[in-house]
Structure 1
Amino acid sequence: MKRKKILSLILTVCLAVSIISMPAFGAETDSKGLEQAVVTMKQVVVIPDSYKDFTHSSSQYDIGDQKVTIWNLEWENSDDNNGYISASIDENGDVLTYNKYSPSESSNGLAKITKEDAQKSAEEFLNKVIPSYSNQMKKIDTNSNNPSSDQYNFTYQQFVDNTPVDFNRVEISVSKSTGEVTSYTGLNPGAKMSDYPATSGVINLNTAEKSYIDKLGVHLEYYSSYDYKEKIKCFSGLFS
């Protein structure tokens, strides 16, 4: 009986110690993650000394059966009403978003920065924020620039062997007044650049269409369409 009491006491103490130590370990991990996120952001942009009020939070993003931690950082400028710099960075050190706003730097007239110089700023930013594959990103035309806006907007898409990767795009805005990058939207949390197969041996469109017809097969059918004028139109087409 005495041995059972001693064993029970030991188990109780071990359980209590484990409960106490787990939050401490979690806090230490969170502290390192936060520190790394701040270091990463300061390697990309300069945080002026006037942006003294620093706040942060973390969240988790589900990717399949895994969770990726995201750090949300914000520095506020106590000398400039509502001025701030914010960013979100995942646990892999990838910058997901970046925003900078300063009322005193807002443009109220003609642009002081040319679009060409703004593009240079955007691409310099790209080289810092995604250095490992910025050389694969090419500017594409999305007709997103508004002449009345105080920002130049650029969209960059990944190209591998001159083949576009539709799901890897980033958006960058540059101030027409200062030439600084004011916003950036990058890849999804936890995204990793894939190994893409070679394009050698890829068949052309005509060959693909012929192969589809020959191997999968299609047949001719009649279909009808009602045009809301009490008329039914019939047409024929090839369907698989």
Structure 2
Amino acid sequence: MLSFPISVFANSIHLVSIEGLIEQQIGSLIITEVYQQLDIELSIETRPGRRAQQDVSSGYKDGEVLRIFEYGEQISNVIRVPTPYYQLETRAFSLSKANLDIVSIKDMEEYRVVKVLGVKHTDIATAGLTNVHSVPNSQTMMRFLAAGRADIALTNTVDGLATIKALKLKTISAQAEPLATLDLYHYLHQRHANLVPIIDAKIQELIASGEMLSIIAKAEAAIIPQALD
């Protein structure tokens, strides 16, 4: 049983998520359930990745729905809730006719890569590459690839599949294997440090009981079929 001071929940929490990304939509449903079980009032707004980061680091917003581990090492004024609650795959997409075989980040060194601006897992994957172009969203990224302006688009597996499906881009396919599978964490601005152990304990409780698997399955069922339809 969790216990906490009433004053902890004196104000509602206002989170941001990165707009247009499937894993962010799924994460928003999961973290909403976590907060609801703690009786914490929650709102979530979408932002471009870099704007979301700025809003939380500056304290304008209270936290981010989910980000990779390295986000907490690079961004000031945020605290990572220690237990991850979701995962993503970093995967390369390319024109089917190109017959590329990309199984590691090193394999991308000779190619032109496009990614979404402000998304940390693809920022990290492309940090050592010299020919990288960043665009505002997944739709622009895949159109950029389809037009032959890049050789590889780098994103989360589900987001990439949903985007090429939505845009009816039959010339693009996913590489056979992901480049990485990364844990995803909830982040709060440091002024909410008192909430971190409370939220972490609830996430651990849900994982231990098996309920988190059900929450994730429900969230994925609500988002993925619609995105791939």
- Shorter-chain TM band: under 0.3
Give the TM-score normalised by structure 1.
0.22
Structure with greater helix share of residues: 2
Give the greater-gyration-radius structure (CA). 1
Q: Which has the higher contact order (CA 8 A, sep 6+)?
A: 2
